[in-house]
Structure 1
């Protein structure tokens, strides 16, 4: 089907047909099940888990081999890249994508997130579930809340004059701020673990996170001086933040926002608020499959490798029922992020909020 350009450079959206059919999400889900696309892909996931564990072991050994030299810092971005892939696998397990039972998926997700990644599984799962339930909805989606940036005009209310002035070109601050996202994730995770009763099985997360950092620090300090170890961690966490933030931000930022209390059916809610990012296998790798965000939000428990296979079905269904399906390039996605953030920062007035939100308010 021919595509038409949207108002954001690089984005394409399927046009609305003249007549809406009676097809629903239920009909789409039935087609997907009949195509076998919800079946587990254990071979795929075991290969990735095994590979990542081996790579981490090789990196730990390499640190000892290189020894106490500044050249060891060259390994820090490689560790970041490996840990970002661990985080993506933890995300998949949390969505029940890997194993057939919730128990094994929960165990895998906790081990990947807390024991290998050093982040509280319970903290992340809670906020991520809120995001999936109400993506881009003001007051519900915690992913559009920030102490530094304003993702929607309401976020500007109550801010001081200096902060509002700094946000007028906040889109350009987005990229350097990504370097702090890794530190922010670890601080928020630790803060959640210190709040008793904030989530279930906190003690398990605490033991895993503390154990992970103890092993990490021991490996580093056996190889290099404390100063070099601190520099290594700083680089690793910074690059980790860039990789994760760069994988999550383009998926929803700049897409329609929903007003507080707005009601929308599941299919429209998930598709309208999500953006796919094209670019082939390399983009799939660096974004952990989250570049197919529309399909992931419609079928969160679908194994990651099947998202590519279900995409034609979803796209055709959206065209059939008249729901715009958005896909863009990597550069187009980040351009949309910058444009949206700058627009919000410059506006700061309710009438400049997203058209969908204004329509739903009326």
Structure 2
């Protein structure tokens, strides 16, 4: 689906109020503490078992397979941190923050940094000025962004469709670096706690890896682990909004339409729910950010039916097709940059 600029529309706040009543009446905003407790315990148990297996296997190139395993586990732990950041686990902030800081520390991410960035995204999804997820130096998500780039970022944006998945190999390092910068500046409510957590993560990670593995094998393990983690994380978040309509400054869309029209769901069975951590229900998640992940599947039927009755476009497709839409959008946006180059060379 190509990215387009939406025309201003009159506010229709009553529509969301009606949908919200329907969802609340179905009990879908109720907390699922037992479900999350089981999920967290299983994640931590599997994570610990993975490190035990890592020690048992020892200095072997087979550890590259455990690197792939830990890429999956880091993402699954990050999903719990995501849910805690949205207050999906407990109603109060204290319990969610405790879970969030713990899981952020386990994967080496600043929970405070991520919550601030992600909250801005949820408030203004696909907004050309206010969505931080649309402002990536080497990518262009609108033609204006492409035209504004110069030098190497412009060259990257020109070829961004082909470079998109390779760039995800660096996403894990970007998450670590952004977290370090956030904590170094002293930002956030608990920067001292997070500084300790990030240092503990780095020291423990490097100590275990290079105690068990030789320098060469350990370095290869880290590269494979961090790169695959970045790809997995990027592939979970990329289908959600990229290639959907972008919103110009001054738009007048109401909350319901702003969230639905800029988001895309990914269809599939429960394996997709697991692999994407519930982010495949992006429309429902954006409409009701505090809704526990286990309730999103039931909410999807209610929300889609409501949108159908009110003539609101509801985007949903399979996982592979969603990536096709992302790449097509990136290629379309960068087309003027390639045409400019061709025009100068003829």
> 1:56 is matched with which residue?
47
Matched, 1:250 2:239: yes
Task: Report the equivalent of 2:18.
Answer: 27
Correspondences of 1:3-152 after superposition (within 5 Å): 24-113=15-104, 115-152=105-142
Alpha-carbon shift at residue 326 of structure 1 (Å): 0.5
**RMSD of the alignment, in Å?**
1.8
User: 1:126 and 1:98 mapped to 2: Cα distance?
Assistant: 18
Conservation of the 8 A alpha-carbon contact between 1:94 and 1:109: yes
Question: 1:239 matched to which residue of 2?
Answer: 228
**What's the CA shift for 1:161?**
5.6
Partner of 1:193 in structure 2? 183
User: Counterpart of 2:8?
Assistant: none
TM-score where L is the length of structure 2: 0.91
Helix, strand or coil for the counterpart of 1:148? coil
Q: Is the 8 A contact 1:37 1:306 kept in 2?
A: yes
Distance in 1 separating the partners of 2:106 and 2:159: 37
- CA drift of 1:108 comes to 0.7
Q: CA deviation at 1:176?
A: 1.0
Off by >3 Å, runs of 4+ in structure 1: 161-166
Task: Please identify, of 154-163 and 265-274, the stretch whose mean Cα deviation from structure 2 is larger.
Answer: 154-163
Counterpart of 1:298 in structure 2 is 287
Q: 1:337 aligns with which of 310, 326, 341?
A: 326
Which ranges in structure 2 are unaligned for 5 or more consecutive residues?
3-11, 339-346
Tell me if structure 2 keeps the 8 A contact 1:243–1:286. no
- Tell me if structure 1 keeps the 8 A contact 2:284–2:300: yes
Deviation of 1:332 (Å) = 1.3
Deviations 1:275-295 (A, max 9, x none): 000121121111100001000
Residue of structure 2 aligned with 1:308, choices 297, 311, 314: 297
- Choose which of 160, 165, 182 in structure 2 pairs with 1:170: 160
Deviations 1:319-339 (A, max 9, x none): 122210110111210010001
**Structure 1 residues 116 and 162: alpha-carbon distance in aligned structure 2, compared to 1, 3 A threshold:** closer
Aligned to 2:208: 219
Shift of residue 318, structure 1, vs aligned partner: 0.9
The answer to whether the 8 Å contact 2:173/2:226 transfers is: yes
Counterparts in 2 of 1:348 and 1:260: CA distance versus 1, 3 Å: farther
Superimposed CA distance per residue, residues 223-243 of structure 1 (whole angstroms, 9 cap, x where no aligned partner): 112332222111111111111
Alignment counterpart, residue 149 of structure 2, candidates 131, 156, 159? 159
Give how far 1:260 is off.
Answer: 2.1
Report how many aligned residue pairs link the two structures: 329
- Normalising by the residue count of structure 1, what TM-score does the alignment of the two structures yield? 0.87
Aligned match of 1:181: 171
Distance 1:40 1:300 in 2: 13
Gaps of 5+ in 1: 1-6, 9-20, 350-362
Q: Retained in 1: the 8 A contact 2:137–2:153?
A: no
Matched residue SS, 2:62? helix
Query: What is the rounded CA distance, in whole Å, between the counterparts of 1:237 and 1:158 in structure 2?
Result: 31
In 1, distance between residues paired with 2:150 and 2:25? Answer: 55
**1:246 and 1:252, CA in 2 relative to 1: closer, same or farther beyond 3 A?**
same
Match of 1:265 in 2: 254
* CA–CA distance in structure 2, aligned partners of residues 226 and 77 of structure 1: 19
Secondary structure of 1:39's partner?
Answer: coil
**Per-residue deviation, 1:348:** 5.7
